[in-house]
Amino acid sequence: MKKTTFFSLLAVLALFASLSSFKVSVRMVADEQTRNVGPFQKIGLAYPANVILRQGSTHSVKVEGDAEQLIQLVTEVQNGKLNIRRKDHDNNNNWSSGKKRVTIYITVPQIEALSVSGSGKIKGEGTFKSASMDLAVSGSGNIQLNANVDNLSSRISGSGSIELQGTGKQSTISVSGSGSMKGYAFKTNDAKVSISGSGSCEINATTSLRSSISGSGKVSYEGSPSVDSRVSGSGSVKKRS
């Protein structure tokens, strides 16, 4: 009888161990959610995620990641801007360390502004058309976009980058820090570029290029624009060879 009780106890313990192991594995399984959001024309990413941006007839936001990560992920619209961030009460900056990045799929009819704060990435699929476009990266993040716009404004602060394709009429680009603007594939009529620090800007200008550099920054351009440059420091403005 004692022997039977002993083996029964072992069986129960083994069952609990297997259930505990099962819980851990379930917690790590990737999850998918479709978020209910209102209309928006701007996106602000303040979260270490990969955003895939598409232009379509409706607004939609789908998120993929570990269930634990998605619990802490906020997607809310305020004044026409979709804000993507962590919950305010989550003060653990390393809670997602070692985990696969969250992926966010966004469809929007029209986009006017994209901003990345931190190490997040936004990548556009297809060509986005807009009268004006405002792009901003603060930190080590990245924006990749193909756009046809009348007026473009791009700001980079930190070590981040913007990779741009398409066409524009008036383009204003500002780089502060060691960041980079990669725009050989973006053809604009007029470009105004300012760099403070060691950053760089690649641009394709057809009519005019005005540049101001403070520090060791570099402007490299394609096209045959009239060039007006002011350099303070060891920086340079050169036509791509």
At 159-192, the pLDDT tens digits run 999 999 999 999 999 999 999 999 999 999 999 9
How far apart CA 241 and CA 239 sit, in angstroms, is 6
Least confident of 38-47, 95-104, 229-238: 95-104
pLDDT number for residue 95: 46
Among positive and negative, which fits the CA dihedral 214, 218, 222, 224?
Answer: positive
Reduce the DSSP state of residue 204 to 3 states and report it.
Answer: strand
What is the DSSP annotation of 15-72?
HHHHHHHHHHHHHHSEEEEEE-----SEEEEESSEEEEEEE-SS-EEEEEEEHHHHHT
Whether pLDDT at 132 is above 50: yes
- Name the residue with higher pLDDT: 7 or 157: 157
- List Cβ neighbours of 72 (8 Å cut-off, separation of 6 or more): 86, 87, 90, 95
pLDDT at 6 > cutoff 90: no
Show me where the domains of the chain are located. Answer: 29-239
How much is the pLDDT for 88? 77
Mean pLDDT of 8-30: 48
Which one has a higher pLDDT value, 9 or 229?
Answer: 229
CATH number of 29-239: 2.160.20.120
pLDDT for 19 equals: 46
The yes-or-no verdict on residue 105 having pLDDT over 60 is: yes
Percent of the chain with pLDDT strictly greater than 70: 83
Separation CA 51–CA 195 (nearest Å): 27
Residue indicated by tokens 């619990």: 71
Residue with tokens 């701007």: 42
From 176, 182, 104, 193, select the one nearest 143 (Cα to Cα): 182
